[in-house]
Amino acid sequence: MMRLHPISSLIPFKKLCIAQEYKYKTMSQNLTEDDVEQAVSQLVQDILERNAGKEFVLVGIRSGGDEVAERIAQQLQSEGTKVPMGVLDISLYRDDLAHLKSNPKLQGSEIPFAVDGAHIILVDDVLFTGRTVRSAIDALTDYGRPAKIELAVLIDRGHRELPFAPDYVGVHLQTQRMDYVDVKLRINDGKDSVVVIENKD
């Protein structure tokens, strides 16, 4: 399944400094299978470091974030930390729903734990405007009132339109504003790759 993500302008110097401070990898080219695997491992490492001995759950945003969440959960378990995981379909919570030419395809949510009082790490594949995150939080709060929500993203492409910042980042990706990013993940697509496609319009 191809997911194309329009990208904004170059990451500001201040953000690059922040990325270096937290040892996040900043990329300006396509990502290989090894790069994607390293980004997932970076997320796992940071989550373990900041949540040692704490209870938390993962919720992946369909589609893309659900696979990233699953891979994080698998690596956490291999490190001796078993974490409950759910998936969230935000199709009906999009703020552009009224402007779509056709109804979105519903895939359904699966939240096999109580949301009330939970520490939730929300997981997505790519973060840009923040609108998907807003929709996901709206969807989550229909299930209950979490004690805390954090955000983990495989790729941060910068330039939010809403005031959301990720707590955990696998890789910061530099692109031109009108580029697209084709994200493929191995469970859904058979391989891991991230390819920047120049928009010549």
Contact criterion met (CB below 8 Å) for 76 and 83: yes
Predicted pLDDT of residue 11: 38
Confidence bin at 201 (pLDDT 50/70/90):
low
Predicted pLDDT of residue 180: 79
What DSSP string runs through 128-164? SSSHHHHHHHHHHHTT---SEEEEEEEEE----SSS-
Contact criterion met (CB below 8 Å) for 87 and 117: no
Whether the per-residue pLDDT at 22 is higher than 50: the answer is no
Cα torsion 73, 181, 184, 59: sign: positive
> Please, what are the domains in the chain?
3-93+105-197 (3.40.50.2020)
Predicted pLDDT of residue 187: 86
pTM for the structure as a whole: 0.82
Whether the per-residue pLDDT at 7 is higher than 50: the answer is no
Predicted pLDDT of residue 13: 33
Predicted pLDDT of residue 15: 38
Confidence bin at 96 (pLDDT 50/70/90):
low
More confident residue, 108 or 59: 59
Burial of 198 (0-12, 13-18, 19+ CB in 10 A): exposed
Burial of 112 (0-12, 13-18, 19+ CB in 10 A): exposed
Cα pseudo-dihedral 128, 82, 48, 35, rounded to 10: -50
Parallel, antiparallel, or unpaired: how do β-strands 57-61 and 25-27 relate? Answer: unpaired
Whether the per-residue pLDDT at 143 is higher than 60: the answer is yes
Rounded to whole angstroms, how far apart are CA atoms 167 and 3? 23
More confident residue, 68 or 3: 68
Whether the per-residue pLDDT at 142 is higher than 70: the answer is yes
Question: Angle, to 10 degrees, between the axis of helix 65-78 and the axis of helix 33-50?
Answer: 60
More confident residue, 63 or 147: 147
Mean of the per-residue pLDDT values of the chain: 83
Whether the per-residue pLDDT at 100 is higher than 80: the answer is no
Mean pLDDT across 39-48? 97
Contact criterion met (CB below 8 Å) for 79 and 52: no
Contact criterion met (CB below 8 Å) for 25 and 42: yes
Mean pLDDT across 11-17? 37
Mean pLDDT across 67-86? 97
